[in-house]
């Protein structure tokens, strides 16, 4: 096994292998999130496409590994992990921080041309064109805990267990630093994407307004689609069935892929 393959195994989880499908959907989780957040989505989507999820360092079985606290560093490592998956064309789906990582990955992939790439689905995140000063990562533990409670994305069992919560805080803080210090650079690998971009958001997301979500349209020369769902920042958990249907619709009609 090559070092690149070993790197891919470290970063990529394939919970429900579906090698018969001729394309792959890669899921990138939110700040503080893990690949297992997408396990139920993978179970349902694997009937339609080969699904992989990204596992960032510093959580679950990667808890002992050094954290990466910048978008650039994360994108570098994820891009390297995706190279062995270039046997099939990819669609990227990212939620919250994962949406920004997916966007920067898409820019890198399109610029380098080493991975066949079909498009991006960005969820629960304002456009990278919209900058807002945020500094949650610089605050104390209690302020950070208050933030993740307010967004309702962390498992209730973790929030109720103080010892477990303190254990995962370093990874959450590192992710918050990565996304809060991120700045869109127009000169980057390419100022805009050539691929289609689909945006999903929660109607009552306190972190993403309608205009901020629609601003993704200015980052692609390709087709653009937008959908909103009832719920807040983590709308996709209670709306999982509707989100799965939306993703399948994107794959079939937006990206024009053959699916089951």
> Among 53, 55, 58, which Cα is nearest to 68's?
58
The pair phi, psi for residue 108, each rounded to 5°, is -65, -45
SS3 string, the chain, reads CCHHHHHHHHHEECCCCCCCCCCEEEEECCCCCCHHHHHHHHHHHCCCCEEEEECCCCCHHHCCCCCCCCHHHHHHHHHHHHHHHCCCCEEEEEECHHHHHHHHHHHHHHHHCCCCEEEEEEECCCCCCCCCCCCHHHCCHHHHHHHHHHHCCCCHHHHHCHHHHHHHHHHHHHHHHHHHCCCCCCCCCCCCECCCEEEEEECCCCCCCHHHHHHHHHHECCCEEEEEECCCCCCCCCCHHHHHHHHHHHHHHHCCCCCC
Q: Pick the catalytic residue from 96, 127, 174, 198.
A: 96
225-244: buried (b, 16+ CB within 10 Å) or exposed (e) per residue?
bebbbebbbbbbeebeebbb
Q: Is 3 a catalytic residue?
A: no
* Catalytic sites, residue numbers: 96
């Amino acid at each position: 096994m090559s070092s690149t393959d070993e790197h891919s195994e470290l970063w990529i989880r394939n919970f429900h292998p579906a090698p018969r499908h001729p394309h792959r959907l890669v899921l990138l989780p939110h700040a503080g999130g893990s690949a297992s957040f997408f396990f139920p989505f993978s179970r349902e989507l694997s009937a339609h496409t080969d699904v992989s999820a990204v596992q960032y360092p510093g959580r679950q079985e990667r808890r002992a590994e050094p954290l990466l606290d910048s978008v650039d560093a994360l994108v570098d490592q994820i891009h390297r992990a995706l190279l062995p998956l270039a046997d099939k064309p990819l669609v990227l789906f990212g939620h919250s921080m994962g949406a920004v990582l997916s966007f920067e990955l898409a820019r890198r992939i399109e610029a380098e041309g080493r991975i066949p790439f079909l498009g991006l689905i960005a969820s629960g995140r304002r456009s990278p064109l919209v900058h807002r000063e945020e500094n949650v990562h610089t605050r104390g533990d209690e302020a950070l805990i208050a933030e993740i409670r307010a967004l309702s994305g962390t498992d209730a069992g973790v929030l109720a267990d103080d010892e477990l919560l303190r254990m995962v805080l370093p990874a959450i803080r590192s992710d918050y630093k990565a996304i809060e210090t991120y700045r869109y650079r127009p000169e980057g690998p390419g100022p805009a994407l050539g691929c289609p971009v689909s945006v999903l958001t929660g109607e009552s997301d306190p972190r993403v307004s309608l205009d901020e979500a629609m601003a993704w349209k200015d980052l692609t020369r390709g087709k653009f689609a937008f959908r909103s769902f009832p719920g807040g920042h983590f709308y996709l958990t209670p709306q999982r069935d509707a989100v799965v249907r939306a993703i399948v619709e994107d794959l079939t009609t937006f990206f024009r892929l053959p699916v089951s």
